[in-house]
Structure 1
Amino acid sequence: CALRLANKQDQEGALAEADIIENLSLEKLVNENKCLCQIEPCSAVLGYGKKVDKSIKKGLKWLLNNIAKDYEAITERVQKDTAEQRAQEEQDKKERAERVRRIRQEREREEREEAEREGRPIEEEELDEENIPNPFQPISNVI
């Protein structure tokens, strides 16, 4: 569900609810995403606490009621989306590590070839890829 608070309704030239729907293409959004949408024309200048515009309270109550009604489905979707995002981030991390490994190998190969051409001894790095320490340390270890 989507709540749209159409603020500044106290000002001259404020758009009517129908104009807001048209200008934001909300009908298309609702149909494409098959979701509920509530528009509340309001004015946020009234203040806070008990002085909040009644339309804002009404809109928030509508949103919270819809969340409560669909809480299980929302929670399930959030967990699924979170798992998918973590899997994608892990895949991206592996791909980055592989790119770095290939670049490092290519650089080392070029350095060896250059050293051989110049007749210099070839210097091998002491750390292999599996034993590279984590460069990020807790702040308490640094200061």
Structure 2
Amino acid sequence: MFDLDLRLASDTIVLGDFPLSRCLLMNDAHYPWLILVPRRNNLTEVYQLSSEDQAQLLRESSWLSQALKRAFNADKMNVANLGNVVSQLHWHIVARHSTDAAWPGPIWGKNPVQHYSVQALKERLEQLHALLAQADSSLAFTPA
């Protein structure tokens, strides 16, 4: 049974699962910001994944980065694996724009979190579910 870190669970909305990773939407309307969490317990680092899981994580994050870049017309995709606050292995995938509030710096700690309004969350979820439905069969995305 896969256990999601409580902080990740409280800060995000579950979108669904790729073959390896749970896909989460960060509840911060400042940025199109998704998080991939490999569904393996007690891991903190990518090197702890098997070679096959490392390759799958790269496939999932690469596809998701490309899809978000197109969908949000991003200037740059930020992909990060920090783990300083939440140690559970997870990758942030953030579509960045030169006009966003944190540009060109990192997003962490720049602005207070701005949770989605009910309507904005509904619209973002519809947009992301449509996007994720386009994943090819090797990624076999299963919506929540």
TM-score for the superposition, normalised by structure 1: 0.32
Q: Name the structure with the higher strand share.
A: 2
Q: Name the structure with the higher helix share.
A: 1
TM-score for the superposition, normalised by structure 2: 0.32
Greater C-alpha radius of gyration: 1
